Amino acid sequence: MRGIAVVNMKGGVGKTTTAVQLAAGFVARGHRVLLVDADPQGNVGHLLGMSAPHTIKELLLGTATASEVIRRDDRRPGLGVILATPAAFALETQLASTMQRETLLSRRLSGVTGFDLIVFDSSPAMNLLTYNVLLCATELVLPVGMDTMALAGARQTLNGVNEIRSLWPDRRLALTAVVPTAVSANTHASKATLQALAADAEMAGALFAHGIRQCIDLTYAAAAHQTIWEYAPASRAAEDYDALLDHLEGQRAGESRHGKEENAPRVQPSLH
């Protein structure tokens, strides 16, 4: 199954925002989506206004099955969610002596049916949960905030991903979108970061040049426990995430046409 991991070791770059809008956006396009929160901060639950008795922690510990931890919300048919809470911070030590603990999530989700794709939100860290996400996903979406530190975080993340690729060479893990977030076209920081992304040999090939513009509606939507499609479907954030969905659907179309994700068509850069 297609699995999209939204990752960046840098905090606050728009991972959760992107994971949630992508999951809900794919649902709006007719896909059945499982959204997995692999960050003990539990921000997916905060954003969507959901809670659950069983979370990713019980799934990884083996004290609950996948069907027991997948939550549904009548307001959002087509979307299943596995939540996280701060209790998952303890997993690192609880699983310390478990064999092959990096592939637990992949094994626990292997029998799950009824979804067309999985979207993973992750922590701002290369920790056990993030490794589990990377070993479960088939592709990466890398949100990058408009500053030097976000760029450094993106580079460190890709170094970690390359390490995973060399340790588990059989795993498919394509970088399908590097997503500039909170872009403010007129600022020096945005221009410099976009230029640096375009100049990076690894990131430039997957650059979603359209970017996600700075848009306060994303913050208001989160405060209202709504997706951008529910809260402000005519906002520029909705427009930009719609373009990102096109980009990701194009990747899939490109993959089936050419057999390689690298050959997928890219959306044209737009000026804003």
Shortest Cβ distance from residue 45 to Mg ion (Å)? Answer: 11
Q: Rounded distance, CA 132 to CA 14, Å?
A: 20
- Find the binding residues for ligand ATP in span 24-53 (CB under 6 A): 39, 41, 43
User: 10, 15, 76, 213: which one contacts Mg ion (CB under 5 A)?
Assistant: 15
- Nearer to ligand ATP among residue 181 and residue 226 (C-beta): 181
Tokens 């990701």 sit at which residue?
Answer: 248
Query: In this complex, which beta carbon is closest to ligand ATP, that of residue 158 or of residue 237?
Result: 237
Please identify, among the stretches 48-56, 77-85, 100-108, 211-219, the one whose residues bind ligand ATP according to the rule CB under 6 A. Answer: 211-219
- Residue 215 makes contact with ligand ATP by CB under 6 A: yes
Counting Cβ atoms within 10 Å, is residue 115 exposed (0-12), middle (13-18) or buried (19+)? buried
φ/ψ of residue 118, rounded to 5: -120, 135
- Residue by residue, DSSP assigns 241-262 as HHHHHHHHHHHHHHHHHHS-GG
In the bound state with ligand ATP, the residue whose beta carbon lies nearer, of 38 and 135, is: 38
Helix (H, G, I), strand (E, B) or coil at 118: strand
Q: Is the dihedral of CA 252, 122, 233, 33 positive or negative?
A: positive
Q: Which of residues 115-144 bind ligand ATP (CB under 6 A)?
A: 124
Interface with ligand ATP, residue 16, by CB under 6 A: yes
In this structure, are residues 15 and 145 in contact, taking their beta carbons and an 8 Å threshold? no
Sheet holding 174-181, edge to edge: 71-72, 79-82, 33-38, 117-122, 2-6, 139-145, 174-181
What residues numbered 28-47 form the site for Mg ion, per CB under 5 A?
43
Judge contact between 4 and 119, C-beta under 8 A. Answer: yes
Amino acid at 28: A
Of residues 168 and 220, the one with the C-beta less far from ligand ATP:
220
H/E segment holding residue 82: strand 79-82
**Binding-residue total with ligand ATP (CB under 6 A):** 21
**9 lines the binding site for ligand ATP (CB under 6 A):** no
Considering CB distances under 5 to 8 angstroms, the limit depending on partner class, which of Mg ion, ligand ATP, none binds residue 135?
A: none
Q: Which of 2, 6, 14, 16 binds Mg ion (CB under 5 A)?
A: 16
Binding mask 91-130 for Mg ion (x = CB under 5 A): ----------------------------------------
Residues found near ligand ATP in the complex (CB under 6 A)? 11-17, 39, 41, 43, 124, 181-182, 212, 214-216, 218-219, 222, 237
| Chain residues in the site for Mg ion (CB under 5 A) | 15-16, 43
